[in-house]
Amino acid sequence: MKSTLPRTLVFALFVGTGLLVHAQDKTPVTPVEYLRPMKNSFSIGVRMIGGAKVTFGGNLGATPFTVSRDRINSGGYDNGTITADDKDSASGDRPAYSDSTCVTWKSMPGGVEGRYYTIKLDSDGKAIRDKDGNVVITGNYVYYNKDDSNWRHYTRNWSYSGDSGQLRDNPDNSDYQQVGMSAFSSRGSTDTVTAEDSRNPGVELTMGRVIQRFKYFEWGIGVSFGVSEFNAKTRQSVNVKLDYITDWYDIYTTGDKFGGTPTKGKLKTHGEASSFPNIFVPTENDDEYQDLKYTYVDSNGTEVSGYTALETTNPIGNTSAATEESNLNDPDRDKLLDGTADGYWQVKGVYYMLRLGPMVRIPIGKRFSAYLSGGYMAAYVGSKFRYAENVNVPHGTSTISTAYKETYANGYSVTTDTKNNQKYIGGFYFDANLEWWTSTRTGFYAGVAYERLNSYKQDLHGRNANIKMDNGLGIRFGIITRF
């Protein structure tokens, strides 16, 4: 709820002040106590008071979903992916390697040991052949045919986003490795965070009516209307508890340079990354790969040499080979992981106030008077509560957004279904002003004010904000006229 009214009225106040000074009455000032009684007064001024202190609590960092057991082929992991690897993906979306000498290339399923391959084509689209008449193969790449019982339990189409904490030695044999793919759900935090907004300029209008006048003072009733803004926001981290499912997959290596039968092992030297494809391009220094060298004569009669590239990504066992570890299997579900959530929480609003109470004016010399007032104060508050939270995944750089609907602002996923709130709250006030009369009717005032308003709460998706209006002293100043 954004209001430009306070700023507009402040601008109008200062314009009006300039006109008032220019057009003021030049006649000598009569002491206030000798003036013909003018029972009404009106003032417009600026108030520097208000703001808010907000304590955010509830289920900060809680995710709006539970851990799903349907994790494979559906993006169900929070720190990695694993999908089926078969000849259909090999001939379609799988990437292929090519070097700068290749005019174009073509993927051909059905290569050696479950591989497909790429070949060089000339400008007419025909396969380039070496001097022995063999088609030049520029790359060998693996797929695992889901219809073949020898290969369907493996895939190279996987990746993980975490650090070494996602890898472990196989519990049965430390010569082998496993990778853990996990899904998490945050139960939220018992922590609270606080945001505080300082005083903001606002505008107030005050009307007074003198009921009785004595020799040295007068008293009456004053009523004022005003508007102020507040914007309390903070970025902090909180501790959360996580439910989890972790599937541990065995890492395999292949028996020879063309693939071979997968056997349990560790990540290869060639390409420590875990996602497809890890490409190894042999050189003349790799003696065991010299039989992958090819030579052919191009259309210009120039002899060209190269090496067939190998895709060397480690396969992993698919779902039938995974070992599940989860606190969801525990009836009490008391085995939780520790985590953190980075959050942005904000309550922004505006309040319109009404103040009513007795007032006393005491003349001081010829040009000055003191003004005192106090009484009941009521405010109509409109505020907006929004949050953005990201739960940090253990052993990784991934995060889980807790947003129900997502947009992006300042690098955070921010809920778009923010909640507006309207509330009436009460309190009391006390003012003390010094008035300077530049003529018999008009003048300026400046002083201090003390206000105290009650607190209120606002909720959104299990989070709550306890809003305490910034009670205390503030300043006020403006112009005043009597009539």
Q: Is the pLDDT of residue 252 over 50?
A: yes
Geometric angle at alpha carbon 93, from 87 and 96, rounded to 5°: 90
Q: What is the pLDDT of residue 43?
A: 95
What are the φ/ψ torsions at residue 89 (nearest 5 degrees)? -70, -30
Q: 115 pLDDT band (50/70/90 cuts)? A: low
Task: Identify which has the larger pLDDT, 97 or 446.
Answer: 446
Across 391-405, average pLDDT: 70
Residue 151's SS3 state is coil
241 vs 16: which has the higher pLDDT? 241
Structure-model confidence comparison of residues 36 and 287, the more confident one? 287
pLDDT of 45 over the 90 cut: yes
Strands of 115-121's sheet, edge to edge?
A: 104-108, 115-121, 137-142, 309-311, 279-280
Both tokens of residue 134?
């063999």
Centroid of chain to Cα 35:
63
pLDDT (0 to 100) of residue 194:
94
CA 385/CA 463 separation, integer angstroms: 10
User: Residue 271 and residue 255: Cα distance in Å, rounded?
Assistant: 17
List CB contacts of 429: < 8 A, sequence separation 6 or more. 355, 357, 373, 374, 375, 376, 377, 449, 450, 451, 452
Q: What is the mean pLDDT of residues 411-419?
A: 49
Q: Is the pLDDT of residue 36 over 70?
A: no
Query: What mean pLDDT is reported for the chain?
Result: 76
Among 170-174, 229-233, 419-423, the range with the most confident prediction by mean pLDDT is 229-233
Least confident among 9-23, 432-446, 463-477: 9-23
Please check the confidence at residue 334 and state whether its pLDDT lies above 80. no
Give how far Cα 254 sits from Cα of 180, 290, 311, Å. 21, 19, 11
Percent of the chain with pLDDT over 70: 68
CA nearest neighbour of 280 among 263, 264, 258: 258
Looking at per-residue pLDDT, the higher value among 266 and 328 belongs to: 266
pTM greater than 0.75:
no
Choose between 435 and 277: higher pLDDT: 435
> Residue 245 pairs with which residues in a beta bridge?
183, 326
Residue in this structure with the two tokens 């030695």, named with its chain if needed: 169
Residue in 279, 441, 420, 407 with CA at minimum distance from that of residue 347 = 420
CA of residue 437 relative to chain centroid, distance: 54
Confidence band of 472 (pLDDT split at 50, 70, 90) = confident
Mean pLDDT of 109-114: 48
SS3 113: helix
Percent of the chain with pLDDT over 90: 23
Q: Which residue has the higher pLDDT, 66 or 55?
A: 55
| Range 20-39 average pLDDT | 54
Which one is predicted more confidently, 192 or 119?
192
- The residue-averaged pLDDT of 220-246 equals 91
Over residues 141-146, mean pLDDT: 60
Residue 144 confidence (pLDDT) above 70? no
* pLDDT confidence of residue 431: 94
Segment 270-277 mean pLDDT:
45
Highest mean pLDDT among 3-12, 132-141, 175-184, 278-287: 175-184
At 46, is the pLDDT very low, low, confident or very high (cuts 50, 70, 90)? very high
Question: How many residues does the structure list for the chain?
Answer: 483
